[in-house]
Structure 1
Amino acid sequence: MGSSDAAPPVRAVIFDYGGVLTTPTRDSIQEWLATDGIRPEDFSAALKEWLSRKAPQGTPVHKLETGEITAAEFNETLAARLRTVDGSPVDPTDLLGRLFARMRPEPAMLGLVRELRGNGLRTALLSNSWGNNYPWEHLDGLFEFAVISGEVAMRKPDPRIYHLMLDRLGLAARDAVFVDDGAPNIEAAQQLGMRTVLHTDPADTRARLAELLPAGTVLQEENR
């Protein structure tokens, strides 16, 4: 293959938040279900109906992520779908807060973002928000731009939100790598021409990014 066919060097890495820059979302969910005594099958059924590939447009999750309903409204809707193991109703008060209570920033991933910036790469955040309060005290200074779904009334995998991020960066899709833990979001980015990494754990993401980044980029900081 001639040099004219070579992929252009990566200029920016765009990260998802929950489950990528944090400890796994599923771990927090499992602890919440156990602590609150909620029947897992009820939550799984609601999530499948509202968030699966086959979910229709405008589900409660979609509306939450685009800011059409508040977290409090979603809490009421979700609680109505759930029961405890003894059949009791579930308290909707701060339900999402309880669901995400055990999710923490992942130091290894935040360190990776700092390394990328230290190597001259641009970094940005692209997140579907579930009414989250983002820990900006940990994130400030790590990203050039942050596009949060609830603030722009669009959500991944809608191509428009990727275009918005790329427009803010002033880059073409081929100039960026997108890191996310959701396969549909990764596939949407690929269809636009972005290079992608499906995140499973910090070590794997570090290794896969190292293969995509420009020659001379050194990623050596220990995961911690």
Structure 2
Amino acid sequence: MHDQVKAVLFDFGLVLSGPANVVVWDEMKRELAMDEATFHPSYWQFRDEYDRGTLNGTEYWNAVAGRKLQDAEVAELKRLDTELWTDMNEPMVAWAERLQKAGVKTGILSNIGDAMEDGIRGKLAWVAEFTHAVWSHQLKMRKPEPEIYAVAVKGLGVPAEQILFVDDREENIRGAEAAGMLGIVYKNHAAFLAEMERRDFLDLWGA
């Protein structure tokens, strides 16, 4: 086991999970009777506020739709949103499990809204096996704000310099490094493993 790393901190979207499910994306458009040109910008326009907890799930979907939705419509959109982002990145999920079995602390640090957290926890029982999880909406802040990394470090109970953070966004990794952590940007699995080898972390991958 690599002596330098005592905990691995994972982003959820596009690290533990894979890309958005395009079939579900189309279902969401049909549910809202919106075309791609309208739905795509609306979905992302309010996402930062949702992840920050400024908007809850119901408020977010009303904002995306541009109208007050019925409760049943909101419930279905929340369900679909969970499905959209829970096609898992199996090699990374399996790595987290190996780390846990080897006694290495694992954490999640994700920019995510309240209904998404509920959906993920309800669907993916293995999320409870992580040592600590930081969901941005709970703190009313987002990566790469410095304070959110401090919460993750405290929750893991490991010095920042002994935590490896994996995230798909460069700015979030820079934020983690500024907080004292090690960091690797996850773009695809082959590139990730190559970087793990370059950093002499492959023994950690084997866990």
Structures share fold, TM-score greater than 0.5: yes
Offset of residue 207 of structure 1 = 4.1
Matched residue of 2:184: which SS?
Answer: strand
Shift of 1:74: 0.5
Pairwise CA distance, 1:139: 2.1
For the 8 Å contact 2:106–2:132, the answer to whether it is kept is yes
CA RMSD, Structure 1 to Structure 2 (Å):
3.0
Q: Which whole-Å deviations, capped at 9, do the CAs of 1:10-30 have from their partners, x for residues lacking one?
A: 221100112211121364665
- Structure 1: distance between partners of 2:191 and 2:102: 19
Does the 8 Å contact 1:33/1:39 carry over to 2?
A: no
Where does structure 2 lack aligned partners over 5 or more consecutive residues?
A: none
- State whether structure 2 residue 47 is matched by structure 1 residue 61: yes
CA positional deviation for 1:101: 2.4
Tell me how far 1:189 sits from its aligned partner. 1.5
State the shift of 1:180 in Å.
1.2
Worse-matched range after superposition: 106-115 or 39-48? 39-48
Match of 2:98 in 1: 115
Tell me the equivalent position of 1:219: 206
What SS is found at the alignment partner of 1:163? helix
- What is the identity percentage for the equivalent residue pairs of Structure 1 and Structure 2? 24
Structure 2 distance, partners of 1:202, 1:32, is 28
Q: Does 1:40 align with 2:36?
A: yes
CA 1:205–1:213 in structure 2 vs 1: closer, same or farther (change >3 Å)?
same
CA shift in 2, pair 1:197/1:31, >3 Å: farther
Q: 1:37-186 maps to which residues of 2 (within 5 A)? A: 38-46=34-42, 50=45, 60-80=46-66, 93=74, 94-102=76-84, 103-130=86-113, 131-132=115-116, 133-134=119-120, 135-141=123-129, 143-186=130-173
Deviates more, 1:117-126 or 1:203-212: 203-212
Aligned mate of 1:208, from 177, 191, 195 = 195
Residue 20 (structure 2) aligned to one of 4, 20, 25: 25
The answer to whether the aligner puts 1:15 opposite 2:2 as a matched pair is: no
Structure ID, larger Rg:
1
Structure 1, 118-127 or 38-47: larger mean CA deviation:
38-47
Classify 1:184/1:27 alpha carbon distance in 2 versus 1 (closer, same or farther; 3 Å). farther
- After superposition, the C-alpha distances for 1:128-159 in whole angstroms (9 at most, x for unaligned) are 22321123413232x11111112222221211
**CA offsets per residue over residues 98-140 of structure 1, 9 Å max, x none?**
3442432332221111222344422111112232112341323
**Residue 174 of structure 1 contacts residue 195 of structure 1 at CA under 8 Å; is this kept in 2?**
yes
Instruction: Name stretches of at least 5 consecutive residues in structure 1 with no aligned partner.
Output: 1-7, 51-59, 82-90
Whether the aligned pair in 1 keeps the contact of 2:21 and 2:87 (CA below 8 Å) is no
The residue number in structure 2 matching 1:4 is none
Q: Structure 1 residues 116 and 28, CA, compared in 2 at 3 Å: closer, same or farther?
A: farther
Letter in 1 for 2:188: D
- Mapped to 1, the partners of 2:127 and 2:152 lie a distance apart of 18
TM-score of the superposed pair, with normalisation by structure 2: 0.75
Cα pair 1:210 1:217 within 8 Å, conserved: no
**Residue deviations 1:170-198 (CA, integer Å, cap 9, x gap):** 33332211111223322222332322122
Please give the alpha-carbon distance, in whole angstroms, between the structure 1 residues aligned to 2:7 and 2:87.
25
